[in-house]
Structure 1
Amino acid sequence: MSQRAPVLMTALFLGGCAMGGFFMSYPAQMAQVKQALSGPTPLSPLTQMSSELSGKDGLLYAQEAGRVAQIGGDFKASQDYYRSAIAAYAKFDDQATVSLSNLGANAGSLVLNDNVIPYRGPGFERVMLHQYQALNYLIQYDFEGALVEVRRANELQAQEQKRYEKSKESVKAMANGTVDSEINRLEQQAGQVTSSFLNAYSYYTTGLIHELLGEENDAFIDYRKAAQILPGNPYLEQDLVRLAKKLAMPQYEEFKDRFGDAILPGQQDGQLVLLLERDFVLAKQPLTVPFTISGNWQTVSLPTYGSSGPAPQPLSLMGLDTPLQPATITNIDALAINALKEDLPALLIRQAARVYAKSELTRGVESQSKKRRDEFDGAAVAMQIFNVLSEQADLRSWLTLPKQAQIGRRFLPEGDYSVTLGNASRNIEIRPGQTTLVWAIDTGSNIRFYSINIKSKWN
């Protein structure tokens, strides 16, 4: 055993490196993709990313590839990549029993690290996947497809809330000093956002699509949920007043007192809706803690989040009668931080099991050694090196998501407008009784516009 251990550990270690990205972390890999999205050739990473779709992280790469194609304006390709990711989630859902391949992956994670476990994103990523797929359908004028994805996104948010409520007691039971300390730190960093699954941007987007396609009661429900999650957005508040008045809702007087009366369009007015996405979501960082068990070195390496940095500088849509200043609807950094916080207890249980397994492996190697006390034990040293180097934090997450989402909305006289947002310009048309949806994506040094006109139901 002692003679074979270095070879065995080397083989396991190199296998773990290949599967878990030991030599280059996932955020480092995605840095090149994000750089391309900020440049003139946003679709260039797709060829390489497509080759990863059949691997254990195929779901994650499908989400990333779908987002890359979406930012680059290839909505059909994005739709196909997202469809692949949706199918991968469905496959996870359908697995009633643990397959041999998953059993092997989980056994490997017990010895190596969580990177060998096939990727399955947190709930907020899955919700945003359907939200973005709905926008893909909408911008291609496939309204029925958009409504299907809207309904699925809303169902998922409800399911995630139920799942979280059921898991609260188990989270309390698993908590200890280390867990409590890290959860408290992440809570402070997340600010007022208290969950990962309640996403005001997703509810606003689904509400907007409901409204544009004539389902105003459903739109009112989604706008109200968004306002409950993120109060204070003036455009969202105005939407609530306007729909409550039009639909003769009992909440109209309350909303009018709180937010002011509804601003209604004139006969020749159209509507401009701006969805503005800013920068890239925060990437995870490793937190490695070395310690000894029975004189042998072990490490625990956890994913965590550092500072999210300053909020993006304000941008206004210029070229209208007065500038349109969008307001924040969701801080996606905070959703990601909360997702990690919610997963932390289970993650630490896996870490504890892994530390124990590695410690037992080391003790087994030492007990097999029949060398004299003063003789160099290469197998034991190799085991300790393996234990330290193989412990790598799982830093995988959907990194082409935006850092922040903002919205703006205004009724405007019909006409052609040359609008500017930051360093980007575009000509848009406002038509009577129609909505011009402008979707702008700011990737740092580049802003891309996409727009469509839809006959509205608000007039």
Structure 2
Amino acid sequence: MKRFILLLAATVFFTACANKSITRYEALAPVFEHNGCESAIAELQKQRDDLYGDNTEFLYYFDLGVLQHYNGNYKESSLNFAKAEKVYDDLYTRSISNEAAAIVTNDNVRPYRARPFELLVLYEMQIMNFLAQKDIDGAMVEVNRAQKAMLGLYQKDKDKTNDNGFLRYLTAIVYEMAGEPDEAAIAYYKTVKAYNENILNLPKEAREFIIESLRRSDREDDIRTLKLDDITETPKATAARDLGQEIIVVGYAGHGPILNELYMSGTYVSGGVLNLTYKDGKTGKLESVTLGAPPVAGAGNGQTFHISMSLPEAHSFRSKVNHFNVTVDDRSGIRPEKVMALDKELEMNLKDDFAATMTRTAIRVVLRTIAAQAAKKAMKTDNALINFFTSIGTDVAQSQLEKADLRIALFLPNSFQMTRIPVEAGSHEVTVTAEGDAGTVKVFNFGSVPVKKGEKKFIFVPAVK
């Protein structure tokens, strides 16, 4: 009986160690939705220990940095993004003890290392934090860090899409602001390459500015290589060059996706195949997938196990805001283009990781199944009733251990949208309207915006609804 009590205690312990992702969303998202950034920041800080904990330290600083960026607290946002970046760097070298614990329990016991797109968004927002503070040198430092991060992601796995068109585009603009046209042209070239290998097409406005920059740098061969030579006129980019000033509006539209659990069941044949069936969250249809299954310690080749498990699955929200309209002085109807789609980024990330995550999880379930059977034999007594409850307790403990890792940033937008508006030096009246299918959601009146000679003035519009 003592063994049985210990088993139940272990079950309760590991259930308590399950991820807090859904709890975190349910506690913080309504505060953000109804009371705004400042209230969400206060609640997040108040419940740090309960909702995040040590293993999700990256997301704590990341979520806090995002909220402070929306709230215009650019210095505080930068400090928290820097802390999140340090957590990521410290975790770059894998912890053997955490990996061992993950084999026994589930992926939630490992420190959260950030998804590739989250890391790249961190650098995007960090760069924009410094631009908002008119600190070009600080923005350049972050540009260099971002490039090292992208290189590191490629070195880890060249088969996955680890580049980001918007980050490359933003980098090019920073180089222009720093007076480095050649570096800007190179970054513009890489912008096209990044969009071509990603899920979002190169925005038309970005295309125009890229062509204008490459032509100005005598890179006609690059234009042909990138197949951009079908456009001969670049009026907006030319006006920006001739006037020397721009107002650049960056809008954050809709609420980004989170993660739900995708339940799967099927057969694992040690040293053979893994075949699982699941219900597609989008279509509602039953789907199946088959992968090669490596041998599992404790099981003979060909030994068959029926398993069930759960994996992370993207859950997108119906956004109240899907686009913006910008008015500058007497010019209205200027619509920013989508430069990054977070729902697509998450779907691509899950697709990239699907086979590896599924195989790792399946092996873990099989190992626990073998261990559970061994535990039942070890705890067997002459009392049939005790044996019955011991068997049930063992099965319950095993099933409670497997929890999908649903950790993800909570406050990212569904999309980043941007437009560049050439202007004369001086003050300009700027209004941005956030709009959705039902019409106007919110009007942002920025009043008279001063633009100095040669300046690129950034305006950020958070409409994460």
* TM-score band, normalised by shorter chain: 0.7 to 0.9
Confirm or deny: 8 A CA contact 2:263 2:310 kept in the other structure. yes
Confirm or deny: 8 A CA contact 1:5 1:382 kept in the other structure. no
Shift in Å, 1:268: 5.8
Residue 448 of structure 1 corresponds to which residue in structure 2?
none
Q: Assess, with a 3 A threshold, how the Cα gap between structure 1 residues 235 and 384 changes in structure 2: closer, same or farther.
A: same
Q: What is the root-mean-square deviation in Å for CA atoms of aligned residues?
A: 3.1
Find the residue that maps to 1:56 and give its secondary structure.
helix
What is the CA–CA distance in structure 2 between the aligned matches of 1:281 and 1:413, rounded to whole Å? 36
Find the residue that maps to 2:157 and give its secondary structure.
helix
Is 1:241 paired with 2:211? yes
Confirm or deny: 8 A CA contact 1:63 1:129 kept in the other structure. yes
Q: Assess, with a 3 A threshold, how the Cα gap between structure 1 residues 196 and 411 changes in structure 2: closer, same or farther.
A: same
CA deviation vs aligned residue, 1:106-144 (integer Å, no higher than 9, x gap)? 333333321111111122222222222222222222222
Shift in Å, 1:250: 2.7
What is the CA–CA distance in structure 1 between the aligned matches of 2:82 and 2:223, rounded to whole Å? 43
Matches within 5 A, 1:386-425: 386-422=397-433, 423-425=443-445
Find the residue that maps to 2:257 and give its secondary structure.
coil
Confirm or deny: 8 A CA contact 1:220 1:244 kept in the other structure. yes
Matches within 5 A, 1:160-239: 160-165=153-158, 168=159, 196-230=161-195, 231-239=201-209
Q: Assess, with a 3 A threshold, how the Cα gap between structure 1 residues 268 and 142 changes in structure 2: closer, same or farther.
A: closer
Residue 104 of structure 2 corresponds to which residue in structure 1?
111
Residue 70 of structure 1 corresponds to which residue in structure 2?
69
Q: Tell me which of 5, 8, 19 is aligned to 2:6.
A: 8
The aligned amino acid for 2:417 is: Q
Q: Assess, with a 3 A threshold, how the Cα gap between structure 1 residues 269 and 132 changes in structure 2: closer, same or farther.
A: closer
Find the residue that maps to 2:220 and give its secondary structure.
coil
- The structure with the greater share of residues assigned to strand is 2
Q: TM-score, normalised by structure 2?
A: 0.78
Q: Assess, with a 3 A threshold, how the Cα gap between structure 1 residues 7 and 164 changes in structure 2: closer, same or farther.
A: same
What is the CA–CA distance in structure 2 between the aligned matches of 1:242 and 1:324, rounded to whole Å? 20
Shift in Å, 1:12: 2.6
What is the CA–CA distance in structure 2 between the aligned matches of 1:138 and 1:130, rounded to whole Å? 12
Confirm or deny: 8 A CA contact 1:333 1:403 kept in the other structure. yes
Most deviating of 205-214 and 285-294: 285-294
Most deviating of 312-321 and 120-129: 312-321
Confirm or deny: 8 A CA contact 1:286 1:303 kept in the other structure. yes
Residue 283 of structure 1 corresponds to which residue in structure 2?
258
Shift in Å, 1:360: 2.1
Find the residue that maps to 1:393 and give its secondary structure.
coil
Matches within 5 A, 1:80-91: 80-91=79-90
Residue 177 of structure 1 corresponds to which residue in structure 2?
none
Q: Tell me which of 146, 154, 173 is aligned to 1:153.
A: 146
Confirm or deny: 8 A CA contact 2:20 2:52 kept in the other structure. no
The aligned amino acid for 1:419 is: V
Find the residue that maps to 2:54 and give its secondary structure.
coil
| Structure 1 unaligned residues grouped into runs of 5+ | 169-194, 445-459
Confirm or deny: 8 A CA contact 1:371 1:377 kept in the other structure. no
The aligned amino acid for 1:116 is: V
Residue 363 of structure 2 corresponds to which residue in structure 1?
353
What is the CA–CA distance in structure 2 between the aligned matches of 1:359 and 1:88, rounded to whole Å? 34
What is the CA–CA distance in structure 1 between the aligned matches of 2:87 and 2:58, rounded to whole Å? 6
Residue 313 of structure 1 corresponds to which residue in structure 2?
322
Q: Tell me which of 238, 258, 261 is aligned to 2:230.
A: 258
Q: Tell me which of 320, 335, 346 is aligned to 1:336.
A: 346
CA deviation vs aligned residue, 1:407-442 (integer Å, no higher than 9, x gap)? 111212344333222221112234443222112221
Most deviating of 303-312 and 390-399: 303-312
Confirm or deny: 8 A CA contact 2:58 2:88 kept in the other structure. yes
Q: Tell me which of 28, 31, 55 is aligned to 2:29.
A: 31
Find the residue that maps to 1:265 and give its secondary structure.
helix
The aligned amino acid for 2:323 is: P
Residue 457 of structure 2 corresponds to which residue in structure 1?
436
Q: TM-score, normalised by structure 1?
A: 0.79
Identity of aligned residues (%): 19
| Structure 2 unaligned residues grouped into runs of 5+ | 196-200, 269-302, 434-442
What is the CA–CA distance in structure 1 between the aligned matches of 2:20 and 2:139, rounded to whole Å? 39
CA deviation vs aligned residue, 1:149-206 (integer Å, no higher than 9, x gap)? 11111222233223222xx5xxxxxxxxxxxxxxxxxxxxxxxxxx552211111111
Confirm or deny: 8 A CA contact 1:49 1:65 kept in the other structure. no
Residue 249 of structure 2 corresponds to which residue in structure 1?
274
What is the CA–CA distance in structure 1 between the aligned matches of 2:173 and 2:412, rounded to whole Å? 20
What is the CA–CA distance in structure 2 between the aligned matches of 1:234 and 1:340, rounded to whole Å? 28
Confirm or deny: 8 A CA contact 2:253 2:322 kept in the other structure. no
Is 1:122 paired with 2:115? yes
What is the CA–CA distance in structure 1 between the aligned matches of 2:304 and 2:219, rounded to whole Å? 70
Residue 302 of structure 1 corresponds to which residue in structure 2?
311
The aligned amino acid for 1:395 is: L
Q: Assess, with a 3 A threshold, how the Cα gap between structure 1 residues 199 and 312 changes in structure 2: closer, same or farther.
A: farther
